Amino acid sequence: MKKIFLVAALTASLVSGVESAAELFQRAVYAQDTLGDIDAAIPLYRRILTEAKDSRQLSGQALFRLGVCLARKGVAEGRQMLEKFVKDYPEMKDLVARARELAPGDFELQPEPWVDGELLTMILRLPAGLELGAFLYSAESTEVQGKRAWRLTTRRYTRQPGGISHVIADRETFRPVSSLFRHPAIGQFDTEYGQGGAVTKIKGQKEPKRTALDGVAYENDQIVYLLRRMPLKVGMKVDLPVMIPFSVGFMKIGMSIPAKETVQTPAGSFECFRVDFDIKQTFWISADANRYIVKYEGEGVQGELASIQRLERRQPAEFSHPEAGFSFKAPPGWIVLSFNRDNQGPNYAVHLLDPDMAGFHVVRIEPVPAGETVSEAGLRKQIEERLADRTKTLKNYSPRPVAWTPRTLNGRVGWSVIADFTEGGADMGEHYAWLQSASTRYIVMLRVEKSRLDEFTPHIDFILSSFSGR
């Protein structure tokens, strides 16, 4: 009996020293989720796939998690594992949906080529060359519910109050999490993405619009950034799953790359991939490591990359015109935009974009006619005559009688005034300021919704106080 007991004890000792597949799985999950050590988790999941073939539930979860770990490391095998999981374990619907998000289809995303805060400005023109406005693209890092994400912003400016969109994209999957699209001619659309679809709240409508999505769909205003992360090559053909909240909803858009072309722009000369879409739009993406958006053609307009900058949220935006002899600053987070047609002299105009594209703001520099004297009374009369012309273009335009304020700054004298008007059925306000030296007029105009006018008063003071030059 003693011999049997010793053999049994030895056998039990050997068995207890071997981990079961379930125990391996628990250890792998702990390494992945708690310790964040995916390098330790990967070999454990591989062992489970070998040892747990009889447990479909366990092997399926191990395969999914292995794919996730490898995808996070940027290994091509990660996408392959996730695709295998989708094919082999269709009954695990929640995990299958997640796997499709992580492995969306026909291409693997490359690392982001942009830097945090990058700002690309593309000037739009008619084919004949007339400047119409600009598209401005910026990418800023952010967090959503503790997860890292990108805030991808498109500003549409057409020399009048323009539109803005934000797409919050998960940094790991690049899948959209939420978005805002706002344009004065189209409306405002707020979209939230979740498993199975998207829910869009449309300003002015009670019921949200629901769109079913089977797998990943990239948002329309995210596509330019998606192109920059795709493994572009001549001959490539892909159908992109695209969500357009302010229009048709979900659709597939075909893209192809027929050739490389050299493109000359104000920002420089670039060798580019020509990317044709089957919706009669073409983008040129630089073939270098930066993957800049270099050129655009579509909808009867052309766009060319004009500048590559950093969006400063903490520092003022500076603008100088050496030939004209003046400079000024805009508040932090604002963008200064200059068009050639506005800067040929002797009068100059510079456009200002606030962070939310909430209004229409312009700085004008004009020469003082020879022999004109500067006095508060004389300036006020000139301003009143100038504002009288606004009644012809702005509905119900009316300066507030008690809102005239005399100004003196750095040897310049002038006035500021507040006026009310209506636009598109909305109550609007304008803060109009005029400073003048012996040779130059400095005029700043900020227009926003009336309810936000007081909020913008410090901004006009900031701009006026920063002027230097003639």
Number of neighbouring beta carbons within 10 Å of residue 93: 11
> For the chain, what is the largest distance between any 2 Cα atoms, rounded to a whole number of angstroms?
125
* Cβ-proximal residues to 409 (8 Å cutoff; 6+ apart), any chain: 435, 464, 465, 467
- pLDDT value, residue 52: 83
- Looking at the whole model, is its pTM more than 0.85? no
Whose CA is closest to 63, among 80, 75, 76?
80
- pLDDT value, residue 1: 39
CB 256 within 8 A of CB 106: no
Tens-binned pLDDT, residue by residue, of the chain (470 aa): 333 333 333 233 333 345 788 889 999 999 998 888 889 999 999 999 998 878 899 999 999 999 888 877 656 688 788 888 988 999 999 898 888 766 655 677 889 999 999 999 999 999 888 899 999 999 999 999 888 999 999 999 986 767 999 999 999 889 899 999 999 889 999 999 987 689 999 999 999 999 988 667 899 999 999 999 999 999 998 889 899 999 989 999 999 999 999 999 999 999 999 999 999 999 999 999 999 999 999 989 999 999 999 998 889 999 998 877 888 999 999 999 988 877 777 888 899 999 999 999 999 988 888 877 777 788 888 888 889 998 888 999 999 988 888 887 777 788 999 999 998 888 999 999 988 888 888 899 999 999 999 999 899 889 988 888 76
Distance between CA atoms of 11 and 59, rounded to whole angstroms? 28
Whose CA is closest to 139, among 158, 122, 120?
120
Tokens of 33: 């989720």
DSSP class of residue 214 equals S
Strand-pair category, 147-157 with 237-244: unpaired
Distance between CA atoms of 26 and 64, rounded to whole angstroms? 15
Number of neighbouring beta carbons within 10 Å of residue 274: 19
Tokens of 228: 């920059």
- pLDDT value, residue 3: 39
Whose CA is closest to 331, among 363, 365, 307, 308?
363
CB 142 within 8 A of CB 330: no
Distance between CA atoms of 312 and 321, rounded to whole angstroms? 20
- pLDDT value, residue 5: 36
Distance between CA atoms of 159 and 442, rounded to whole angstroms? 19
